[in-house]
Structure formats: C-alpha cells, structure tokens
Amino acid sequence: MTEQYDVAVIGAGPSGSTAAHLLAEAGARVLVIERETFPRFHIGESLLPASLDVFRRLGVEVVGKEHVKKAGAEFYEEATGQFATYLFSDQLGGVPEYAYQVDRATLDQALAQSAVRAGAILHEGERVTGVDLDGGARPPIVATDRGRYEARYVLDATGLDSLFAYSNDSRRRIEAFGLGAVFRHFGDLRPSIAAELLAQGNIKVLFVDEGWIWAIPLGEGRLSVGLVTRHKGLKDEWLDAAIAASPEVSRILEGARPEGPHKKLASFSFYNPRAHGPRWSCIGDAACFLDPVFSSGVTFAMLGSTLAVEQLLPALAQGREGDAALMDAHAEKMRNGYEVFATMINAIYRRRLLPGLFFTTDQNTELRKGLTSLLAGDVWRTDNAFLEKLWRSRLRVRLDDRGLSMV
Ligand SMILES: Cc1cc2nc3c(=O)[nH]c(=O)nc-3n(C[C@H](O)[C@H](O)[C@H](O)COP(=O)(O)OP(=O)(O)OC[C@H]3O[C@@H](n4cnc5c(N)ncnc54)[C@H](O)[C@@H]3O)c2cc1C
C-alpha cells in the first residue's frame, strides 16, 4: 500500500528542513525525501542576521569550530580604490547585530536532524523522479527511485534543481545577473591573516569587470573564494586569474593551500512565477534564486519556509490545502522581498550606478542604517528610507511572468 502523509517535502536543504521541522512540530505527518546522504557539500556559506530568529525557533545552534561569527560585509572596487564596510550593528534595529559564516555540510545536517527530532521522517539517498499532482483533485503521488508516497500537500524544496519549475516550464532565467560561479576552498591561511579575518569575520565582496569575487573566512584557518561571472562556459582558470588580479585576495591567500579541485555551478539566477498551485508550493531556491552577491539565499529560504508553513498549517487543519489561492499572499510577499535584492543586484551589473549605492561618502545616517538593514536581510519593514529611495531609483526591477524586467 502507498504510504500516506500530510506533507511530502522534496529536498532537505535549509528550506525543506525548516518547513519539515515546523510542520512536524505542529503535529503534521511529514516525509522528507533527500537525494543525497548527509553530510553533503553545499556552497552558500554566509548567513544574514535575519536568519537567526529561525535558527532559534528550530532550536539549532550555530556552534562549532567550523563556523565563524560575522559582523558584516566589506565591498571593494580595487580598480578605482573604492572600499566600504557595513557592520550589522549599524542597522535600523530589529534583527541581531551579527550573523555567521558556516560550513554548510555540518549546518544542513544539523537542520535535517532537527526536523527528524521534531517528528519528520527523513529518507536520505532517495531521489524524487516525478510528482503526479492531477490538478489538485486528489492527494498528489510522489514517485522516487525507491517507491511511491501519497501526501495531502507537496513542498518542492529542491533548490537550483527546481523540480516543479522545470516540469511546469516556468523557470525564467535572469540573464542580466551572474550566470555561474567557479569556486574553491583554501586551508592553512597564515595565522596572522586568519586572525585578521576572524577579528570581524566579514565577507569580502570585490567587484570586477565580469562580476564579483567572494572571500568568506571559515573556521580552522580556511577561506572560501569564488568568482561569479556573467560569462558563459565557466573555466577553472577564470578564478585563478581573478585571484591573481586582485591585490586583496592575493594578499589574504598568500601561502594558503588549495583544498581539492575547483568547483563550478552554472545556470543560476532565475525566477519561478508559477511557484504554487492546488496542493503544492515551491520554497527556497526552487521558487527563486538570485545572484548570491548579498548572501540572501539561506536566509530567504528559511524565512520563506516559516511564512509558507504559517499558511499551510491552518489550511491542513481545515482541509483547505487544495485551495489554488492558498499561497497567493505568501508568494506576493516573497516576490516583494526578492525584488529588494534584485534591485540592489541590478546595481552590481550596471557598474556606473555602484558608487552611489555603496561607496558614497555623504550617505546620511538614516540611509546608511537603512541599507545595512537590507544587507542584514530585514527587508519587509515599512520605515526604511533607503528602501524608499531604492524603489524610486532607476535601478528598480520587477519579477514577473517574463522573469526580470526593468521598471
Ligand atoms: C555560487 C553560490 C554561492 C552562494 N552563496 C551564498 C551565501 O553566501 N549565502 C547564502 O545564504 N546563500 C548562498 N547561496 C545560495 C544558497 O546556497 C541557497 O539559497 C540555499 O542553499 C537554498 O536552500 P534550499 O533549501 O532552497 O536549497 P538547497 O540547499 O540547494 O537544497 C536542495 C536539496 O534538494 C535536494 N534535491 C534536489 N533534487 C532532488 C530530488 N529530485 N529528489 C530529492 N532531493 C532532491 C538536493 O540534494 C539538496 O539537498 C549561494 C549559491 C550559489 C550557487
């Protein structure tokens, strides 16, 4: 007989595990199906303060020598000598004044385990091959390489694999942003450099012609370095050349040892305008993945999951999970949040507008605090003067059926 659940969650990354935890804790019968076996590698190591409240709710502590406390972000344009640091302590208030740089293999495993502790059933090493939704007329059937499961509701949390967006043909690529990344980890940083980087634990973001470079300090003398580029046909040498051309990255990597080969990820930055329907919804990256320059991915995945669960739980209790409009308001709120970051990312790729955004010296205190709040992931408050200015600016973009469009 087909096993029956209230909710089937496909994928146990931060979005899937967060949703599974909160649903199971509230008494729902939850099955999580994850293709990989934990601990598994994942890129995306820099968190924002707005995620910490979700970690607290889940009872997951970001502790361990592999993680590092993060005070803020540093932006560089070495070609013009421009530099700016934004510390989360200098925000409007409302989210913590710090975040973390994390080892995702450890963190994602801790999140998945917390969902299991809350009562979710986790199947690792099992791949979902298809979902029969039948227009929401009856509970969907989830097919995997091991079996079939029936659930009253399905959450697609498959990340960049975006299972439903591909099968619905609703994956709208955002060609104007980064198209891919090549990255590598380094160990054995010089002790004086490691101490310097860990003093604040900031992410370094360096704008270069084809995109930007990240340098994220991790625990135990490690550094994550990557290049996000608008060019297609990613090559390992592009990262090596970008490092060699950057005095700052070359300086902090002097004497460091590469750990393993380069890694690459292509075909990112997309919006999925059809992210929910009767008895199903996409959460996390499966709904939208934006160029990671502002480290918004994990934070948005976790916040988005908590908001989706707030809609789903009462619907399950009242038998309304087949309502096609159930996630309308949720999707609208998420779109608004994605547009905040999309508008700022737009500045990165329209370079002449960058100085006005980050490197201005005459920023007044309220605007600076407002920008810092956005960088902290606090995007839905209504008293942010910087955000109001951003909405009125030439940078503003919209996410819609076509993907990204300029306003
Ligand atoms: C180059 C790069 C740099 C990034 N940097 C940052 C950063 O600094 N900070 C940040 O917050 N975010 C960053 N991100 C984004 C971040 O990694 C994601 O936003 C985050 O992982 C989204 O979580 P998720 O749960 O939606 O998806 P994921 O974490 O990707 O989890 C999806 C899970 O679904 C599983 N899965 C997929 N298909 C199937 C299937 N068919 N059956 C079963 N399981 C399946 C996968 O194995 C995976 O475990 C970065 C992303 C990239 C590409």
Q: Which of 233, 250, 266 is the last residue of a domain?
A: 266
198 and 115 together in one domain? no
Range of the domain at 238: 180-266
Say if residue 11 is in the same domain as residue 105.
yes
Contacts for 138 with CB less than 8 Å, ≥ 6 apart: none
Whether 44 and 164 map to the same domain: the answer is: yes
User: How many angstroms does the Cα of residue 1 sit away from the middle of ligand 1?
Assistant: 33
Q: What is the CATH number of the domain that holds 195?
A: 3.30.9.100
How remote is the CA of residue 285 from the centroid of ligand 1, in Å? 6
CATH number, domain with residue 7 = 3.50.50.60
Same domain for 165 and 19: yes
**For the CA of 14, the nearest atom of ligand 1:** 25
Q: What confidence score (pLDDT) does residue 350 get?
A: 85
Distance CA 293, CA 46 (A): 10
Query: Which residues sit with their C-beta closer than 6 Å to ligand 1?
Result: 10-16, 33-36, 42-47, 127-128, 157-161, 163, 181, 226, 265, 268, 284-286, 292, 295, 297-299, 301
Phi, psi of 241 (to 5 degrees): -70, -40
31 and 44 co-located in one domain: yes
User: In total, how many domains does the chain have?
Assistant: 2
Residues 156 and 242 occupy one common structural domain: no
Could you tell which of 35, 74, 103, 239 is best to mutate to test the pocket of ligand 1, judged by most ligand atoms within 8 Å of the CB? 35
Q: Are residues 274 and 167 in the same domain?
A: yes
Instruction: Using the 3D structure, point to which of 203, 232, 266 is the last residue of a domain.
Output: 266
Ligand 1 centroid to 297 CA: how many Å?
Answer: 8
**What contacts 73, CB < 8 A, 6 or more positions away?**
85, 86, 202, 203, 204, 205, 295, 375
Return the residue whose CA atom lies nearest to atom 9 of ligand 1: 295
Closest by alpha carbon to 57, among 376, 303, 285, 315?
303
Residue whose CA is at the smallest distance from ligand 1 atom 29? 13
Please tell me whether residues 154 and 189 are part of one structural domain.
no
Dihedral of the CA atoms 108, 113, 118, 124 (nearest 10)? Answer: 90
* Domain edge (last residue) among 234, 266, 298: 266
Q: Give the three-state DSSP class for 362.
A: coil
Q: How far is the CA of 182 from the centre of ligand 1 (A)?
A: 16
**Helices 328-349, 385-392: crossing angle, 10 deg rounding:** 70
Tens digits of residue pLDDT in 65-97: 999 999 999 999 999 999 999 999 999 999 999
Task: Report the relative pairing of strands 270-271 and 257-266 from DSSP bridges.
Answer: unpaired
Instruction: Tell me: do 329 and 203 sit in the same domain.
Output: no
pLDDT, tens digit only, all 407 positions of the chain: 789 999 999 999 999 999 999 999 999 999 999 999 999 999 999 999 999 999 999 999 999 999 999 999 999 999 999 999 999 999 999 999 999 999 999 999 999 999 999 999 999 999 999 999 989 899 999 999 999 999 999 999 999 999 999 999 999 999 999 999 999 999 999 999 999 999 999 999 999 999 999 999 999 999 999 999 999 999 999 999 999 999 999 999 999 999 999 999 997 899 999 999 999 999 999 999 999 999 999 999 999 999 999 999 999 999 999 999 999 999 999 999 999 999 999 988 887 666 777 887 667 889 999 999 999 999 999 999 999 999 998 889 999 999 999 88
